[in-house]
Amino acid sequence: MNIVSGPFTASVRRVLAHPGHQAWLAGVGGSLCILLLTLLGNWQQHALLMAPFGATMVILFVLPDSPLAQPRNIIGGHLLTTAVGFAVLQLVGVGPLSLSAAVGLGILLMQLTKTTHPPAGANPLLVMMSRPELSFLLTPVLAGTLVIVLFGVLYHRSLGRSYPARWW
């Protein structure tokens, strides 16, 4: 179901048909989503933004039909790999082997749970190198991914696109 209908939809579809416009729309979508995360985070006085979300924008707005861009993958992939980073950090600390093992374990678990989301592969490194509080799992990871998915749904549907291809 499209949010927008009528003559506006026909105009949007013509714009979407041009490859150059697709690039602009993807860039605008990613920019607006990061802006929203930043403004909401400032308003709530809790960070809703982390570096891997920049790469999530590329997948969500350039390849919205990809399995990697679906809500299960965005939310599940980020949560899972962040948890892996915390677990490895607590169990063995930070070192070359633990950093590499954490990334490999994150990849393995994303594959097994069908939550593969490449930007989330950076999360174990982020957690282990910055050593945030455990609440990092909730804010920015969970809260941020929920905002990202909701924004992605509204943005794509406002352009007459069907997103997500599947919810979970």
What is the chain's pLDDT, residue by residue, as a tens digit (168 residues)? 444 455 656 666 666 566 677 889 999 999 999 999 999 999 988 889 999 999 999 999 999 999 999 999 999 999 999 999 999 999 999 999 999 999 999 999 999 999 999 999 999 999 999 999 999 999 999 999 999 999 999 999 999 899 999 988
Dihedral (C-alpha) 36, 37, 43, 46: value to the nearest 10 degrees? 180
Tell me the pTM. 0.87
Check residue 114 and report its DSSP letter: T
Check residue 136 and report its DSSP letter: G
∠ Cα 18 24 29 (to 5°): 125
**Whole-angstrom distance, CA of residue 112 vs CA of residue 2:** 33
